[in-house]
Chains A and B, each alone.
Chain A
Amino acid sequence: MSTDKKKQSIFTKVSDTNLLLAITIVIFFLMYIGAIIFQGGGFSKPQMFFNILNANAALIITSCGMSIVMISGGIDISVGGVVALVSMCCAVHLDQHGGSVFGSMLIALGIGLAFGLVQGFLVAYLDIQPFIVSLAGMFFARGMTTIVNTVPFNVENAAFKALMDTRIYIPGMGTTNKKGIYVPAYVEPGVVVALVLVALLFVVLRWTKTGRSFYAVGGNKQSALMLGINVKRTRFISHLICSTLAGIAGYVYFLHVGSGSASHAMGMEMNAIASSIIGGTMLSGGVGNIIGTLFGVLSLSTIQNIVSNAGLDQAWWTGITIAAMLCLFLVIQSVVMAQKKRALK
């Protein structure tokens, strides 16, 4: 009897969002600690963690946008295409048109905004399925990338290279290498952008009216409408935010790789969706958390690193392990939700 009561209180006290978030964070820490214990070496160095951040800053930003769209009940699979288009346009602007770094940033934002405006309008006001709209957006962005420039190339612009090589050192987190020289840990500027955006979006989703209305619309459109929420406008804004974030992510990605290519960010949309899900966002809408998404990206890239560190570097193992992990998370989520429903009854 007492155990029954306890079980009930655990399951009913914690909201859906927090429960899934807790699962994600616990699994991430278990995985990372496991990696340190069983693989040692690289994982015990702080730089390993920061490298994960450096390589995935763009993915963190796109995943945040994806989470917001998913929370409000939509989906956007055009983000990978937008990232590729932004990096190609910025590369062409800097290298072939002799443009400025500031100008390229404006281009990135502009492309993101333009995609957001069009897709948001089509989804929210013309009531077309978001999957089809963003599918067309993805086709359009990928096609435009090759129309802008077919051949991949590296950017040689001096001002941009200086920005690209900027390192932000983290005090007190360095390691001493084999030659006995102290190497401080660093992050790239993109990581700062990503973390600031995560903090900002966390605040927006938690404490602003717009942020709360995303949850309301995603949870139940009809009751959101009854509450006096402008459902169309909310859906429009969610797509606008997602595409704008994809534009920013495109620039961060560009800053990390320093080149333009039509094959950049292939499949990034699926990684973003996977990260959001691992982070506890539900595609059906109404449930999700930005911090969870951050941990989703970290879990995804940690498992990639563990696989490649374990010497299973044949390419197929990465795909299979990520899929297995995704499967595990999905089944856990599904079982937990079913348990919770039973507890509530």
Chain B
Amino acid sequence: MKKIDLKKLLSNQLLIPFTAIIILCIVNIIYDCVNTDAAFFAIETKTNNSGFTVFSGPLITILDNGSELAILAIGMTLVTAASGGQDISVGATIAIAGSAMLRVLCGGNTRPETLAAPIIVGFLVACIVGMLCGAFNGLLVSVFRIQPMIATLILFTAGRSIAAWINNNELPIVPDPKFAYFGSFIPGIPIPTTVFIAAACIIVAALLLKFTNLGLYTQAVGINESSSRLNGINPTAIKFISFIILGLCVAVAALIKVSRLSTINYSVIAKDIEMDAILAVALGGNALSGGKFNMWASILGAYIIQFLTTTLYRFQVDSSALPAYKAVVVIILVVFSSPVVRDKLSSLSNKKKALKKGVA
């Protein structure tokens, strides 16, 4: 009975992400015990720059800063599962969508007095632009059958240039303070708005998977394209749709990213976020070669990355040296989640059992 439990546990996809979170928590608790003035789990209220009373603390920071990544992880999981490849252009398309949104909101002016269009129009334009970028990638992948990483390399190369071109390489600033609410706090609500946006996206995605066949079809296409076609699923359409959904996720992430600054920096905005988003999918234990997927695991993976970043910052790690430590943690995680090592581990525990039986 116990043996079956262990095996089930070892093969559970959520084992690695949960272990990672527990280890990170323990590390933080030890750090708190050593440094008495630090408290990781404390959530305190303080007054921020705009004069609102808000919650603050490391946990809030993780939920706040991890939300873009969690939103992207939703789309990236679908793309990975359907096409067996990854979209490396999300950072660049965030720049494009953000730039288009600014262009609409500021109406081509660099320092406008009032908004040229309502915020919702700007956001809708960003959604359309994000979906167009997704459609372009999806077209190359599904119709022309180019490997996703290579197809998205095109927008990866051109994206930031196109973003700069949309606004004539100028950096417009949105005048309306309401626009900044999306990236910080709505007055009177002490929880960051980004948390609500991320939660809304996650709920929509969960409902979509629950009440439509999308999840099932995506897995079928990812596992075997030709046999899913024989079963009446259109693989081209499924792949295309997954890229469109990622495009929508990109637009929401762009809204948050641009709102945080009320402006944009074409070469820096969402830099390397594509790598983190792919990492989130992999940390969740999803196969990057497509097929079966678990969206919750990917979302958990996204928050783990932010958890790790926040923890490293607490240890006074320099921001430019951060990737080196991140790399070590990632390698440890993927080594333990690799099938070869798992098989070795489970056979080791089986041997122990056999030995015990022999003695008895």
Q: Is this pair of chains taken from one and the same complex?
A: yes
Task: Given the known inter-chain contacts A129-B289, A330-B144, please indicate yes or no for A143 contacting B320, CB distance below 8 A.
Answer: yes
The docked-state distance in angstroms from the alpha carbon of A225 to that of B107 is 61
Binary flags per residue of A260-280, CB closer than 8 Å to B gives 1, else 0: 001000000010011001000
- Most A CB contacts (10 A, CB to CB) among B160, B165, B323 go to B323
- Most B CB contacts (10 A, CB to CB) among A127, A136, A319 go to A136
- Chain B residue with Cβ nearest A330: B146
Binary flags per residue of B303-337, CB closer than 8 Å to A gives 1, else 0: 00000000000000010111111111011001100
**A-B pairs with beta carbons under 8 Å apart, 9 shown:** A126-B340, A127-B339, A127-B340, A135-B279, A136-B327, A320-B165, A323-B157, A323-B158, A331-B146
Which A residues are in CB contact (< 8 Å) with B209? none
Q: How many B residues, CB 8 Å from partner?
A: 47
Query: Main SS of chain A's interface residues?
Result: helix
A122 and B340 form a contact (CB under 8 A): no
Cβ of B49 under 8 Å from chain A: no
- Most A CB contacts (10 A, CB to CB) among B86, B150, B335 go to B150
Q: How many Å from the CB of B90 to the closest CB on chain A? A: 14
B324 and A327 form a contact (CB under 8 A): no
Q: How many Å from the CB of A85 to the closest CB on chain B? A: 10
Q: How many A residues, CB 8 Å from partner?
A: 48
Cβ of B155 under 8 Å from chain A: yes
Binary flags per residue of B231-270, CB closer than 8 Å to A gives 1, else 0: 0000000000000000000000000000000000000000
The docked-state distance in angstroms from the alpha carbon of A302 to that of B323 is 34
Q: How many Å from the CB of B342 to the closest CB on chain A? A: 10
Q: How many Å from the CB of B344 to the closest CB on chain A? A: 10
Q: How many Å from the CB of B297 to the closest CB on chain A? A: 15
B147 and A133 form a contact (CB under 8 A): no
The docked-state distance in angstroms from the alpha carbon of A129 to that of B140 is 23
Chain A 120-167 residues near chain B, CB threshold 8 A: 122, 125-129, 131-133, 135-140, 142-144, 146-147, 150
Cβ of B273 under 8 Å from chain A: no
B326 and A143 form a contact (CB under 8 A): yes
Which A residues are in CB contact (< 8 Å) with B340? 125-127
Q: How many Å from the CB of B305 to the closest CB on chain A? A: 11
Q: How many Å from the CB of A234 to the closest CB on chain B? A: 17
B323 and A143 form a contact (CB under 8 A): yes
Q: How many Å from the CB of A94 to the closest CB on chain B? A: 22
The docked-state distance in angstroms from the alpha carbon of A274 to that of B150 is 8
Which A residues are in CB contact (< 8 Å) with B288? 129, 131-132
Task: Given the known inter-chain contacts A132-B279, A133-B334, A330-B144, please indicate yes or no for A319 contacting B327, CB distance below 8 A.
Answer: no
Cβ of A326 under 8 Å from chain B: yes
B150 and A273 form a contact (CB under 8 A): yes
The docked-state distance in angstroms from the alpha carbon of A10 to that of B115 is 61
Which A residues are in CB contact (< 8 Å) with B325? 143
Which of B144, B164, B331 sits near A331, CB closer than 8 Å?
B144
The docked-state distance in angstroms from the alpha carbon of A147 to that of B155 is 32
- Chain B residue with Cβ nearest A316: B161
Cβ of B201 under 8 Å from chain A: no
The docked-state distance in angstroms from the alpha carbon of A327 to that of B287 is 27
Binary flags per residue of A310-345, CB closer than 8 Å to B gives 1, else 0: 000011111110111011001101110010000000
B326 and A139 form a contact (CB under 8 A): yes
Cβ of B179 under 8 Å from chain A: no
B328 and A140 form a contact (CB under 8 A): yes
B327 and A277 form a contact (CB under 8 A): no
Cβ of B338 under 8 Å from chain A: yes
- Most B CB contacts (10 A, CB to CB) among A140, A270, A323 go to A323
Using A316-B164, A323-B155 as known contacts, list a sample of 13 further A-B pairs with CB atoms less than 8 Å apart, ordered by residue number in A.
A127-B340, A129-B289, A140-B323, A140-B328, A143-B327, A147-B321, A262-B320, A315-B161, A316-B160, A320-B158, A320-B161, A320-B162, A323-B158
Which B residues are in CB contact (< 8 Å) with A137? 327
- Chain B residue with Cβ nearest A271: B157
B282 and A132 form a contact (CB under 8 A): yes
Task: Given the known inter-chain contacts A136-B331, A330-B146, please indicate yes or no for A126 contacting B338, CB distance below 8 A.
Answer: yes
Cβ of A79 under 8 Å from chain B: no
- Chain A residue with Cβ nearest B148: A283
Cβ of B341 under 8 Å from chain A: yes
The docked-state distance in angstroms from the alpha carbon of A122 to that of B340 is 10
Cβ of A96 under 8 Å from chain B: no
Cβ of B73 under 8 Å from chain A: no
A284 and B147 form a contact (CB under 8 A): yes
The docked-state distance in angstroms from the alpha carbon of A277 to that of B146 is 11
B150 and A277 form a contact (CB under 8 A): yes
Cβ of A75 under 8 Å from chain B: yes
Which of A126, A283, A314, A326 sits near B157, CB closer than 8 Å?
A326
Which B residues are in CB contact (< 8 Å) with A277? 150, 153
